[in-house]
Structure 1
Amino acid sequence: MAISLQKGQKVDLTKSNPGLTKIIIGLGWDINKYDGGKDFDLDASVFLLNSEGKVADDKNFVFFNNPKSPDGSVTHTGDNLSGAGDGDDEQVKVDLALVSSSVDKITFGITIHDAKERSQNFGQVSNAFVRVVNEASGEEIIRYDLGEDFSVETAVVVGELYRNNTEWKFNAIGSGYQNGLAGLCKDFGLDV
């Protein structure tokens, strides 16, 4: 049975699941009734961060246009343009055994494509979640439902995997940004 997290909670991932290396990070959301006449397109982004909390190389920013990290540890499985349907809207596969030793954290974000131009924000999004799944068994290990705490934000850092000595842990973050993907990138040391 999956561990359900609240904002700010941290939980062990690999210590309580010996031998676990290949996981899927599932990200999902629903769009509230929205009468803006424009489609909603949410995107998952992944930042492989060094000990300073920065992306050391642009290629360590994984998203639909750069679907694989240089070390091969993180793979974005594709862009969902509508978020329609049940279950995960976008997925990221992570092989913890392949993560470069220079990477301390793997941070997962969701942004709204062209949010400013379309007058869209996370106040119009509901049922957002992130979950960690054992790729081999399909078992959901961890789930974090973000709730409805957002209004004007156009990007959300949903959670992160981080090293704790030789083990990996998961942190449910749930922090919103008003300046979208550009704000996330700037905080993580990228120029966009």
Structure 2
Amino acid sequence: MSREFQRGHKARVSDLTAGTDLYIGVRIGGPGLTFDISCFGLDAEEQLSDDRYFIFFNQPKSPEESLQLLGPQAGDTESFRVTLDRVPERIRKLSFTATIDGAGQMSQAGPGYLRIVAGGEEVARYSFTGSEFSTERAVMVGDLYYKDGWRFAAVGQGFDGGLEALLRNFGGEVLEEEEAPAEAPAPQQAPGFAPPPFAPPASAEPEPRPTAAQSYA
């Protein structure tokens, strides 16, 4: 059974599932809005000390492939595969974020969520709506962080800037000119990693796009 989380709630991943091969699905959208959904792999100081752990549409996986961008699937606007036992020790937090690409603000977003799937079954879900935000252009949706074992935190924290501002907030470098987005990688599977069930629609239909951005303590 999937455990429902409210903003600010935290739990040990081991209390949700015995697995370490996780599927993270994010759904977000709104009329006329396009979102970039990303994962920031942060160090103990909550900084992006290694740009190779900024997982987004132009960089779909980390060097050892412990973090992988899977693309839209199973009703999710964007999805990731996280293999916790392969994440390097210097990476202490995985922050999943959503930023608006273009005009708009978070208050215009429809109902959305972040969900964790393990072994083909959803084990956790944090739901949110645009009414929880105002003029922010980004939201730090949820975190997986290491504190005596991996834990999950439902964050739901708005952020005033867009993706570049969020990147700077985490100490990353913003390139003057980004390359054209790479094609979304095909869903990855491996022994013990089952594709998630289709997520029930969250009323507002998002505009899927292989994209990037997210974090919290």
Give your verdict on TM over 0.5. yes
In 2, are the aligned partners of 1:15 and 1:168 still within 8 Å (CA)?
no
* 1:39-118 alignment runs, 5 A limit: 39-78=32-71, 87-114=75-102, 118=103
**Separation in 2, partners of 1:152, 1:170:** 26
Size of the aligned set, in residue pairs, is 173
Q: CA deviation at 1:17?
A: 2.4
Q: TM-score, with normalisation over the residues of structure 2?
A: 0.75
Deviations 1:12-60 (A, max 9, x none): 1124522x111111000231xx4xxxx4221211000110000111111
2:107 paired with 1:127: no
2:54 paired with 1:27: no
Percent identical residues: 36
2:135 match: 152
The AA in structure 1 aligned to 2:81 is: K
Over aligned residue pairs, what C-alpha RMSD do you find? 1.7
SS of the residue aligned with 2:110? strand
Structure number with the bigger relative contact order (C-alpha 8 A, sep ≥ 6) is 2
Uncovered stretches (5+) of structure 1, i.e. residues with no partner: none
* 1:175-186 alignment runs, 5 A limit: 175-186=157-168
* 1:155-174 alignment runs, 5 A limit: 155-165=138-148, 167-174=149-156
**Separation in 2, partners of 1:145, 1:7:** 8
Uncovered stretches (5+) of structure 2, i.e. residues with no partner: 175-217
Greater strand share, structure number: 1
In 2, are the aligned partners of 1:105 and 1:160 still within 8 Å (CA)?
yes
1:140 match: 122
**Separation in 2, partners of 1:16, 1:124:** 32
Deviations 1:41-95 (A, max 9, x none): 21211000110000111111000110001221100113x5xxxx98211101101
**Residue 86 and residue 96 in structure 1: after superposition, are their counterparts in 2 closer, same or farther (change >3 A)?**
closer
Deviations 1:99-137 (A, max 9, x none): 0011111110001112xxx3x111111111101111x3x
**Separation in 2, partners of 1:91, 1:74:** 11
2:13 match: 13
Structure 1 segments of 4+ aligned residues over 4 angstroms from their partners? none
The AA in structure 1 aligned to 2:42 is: L
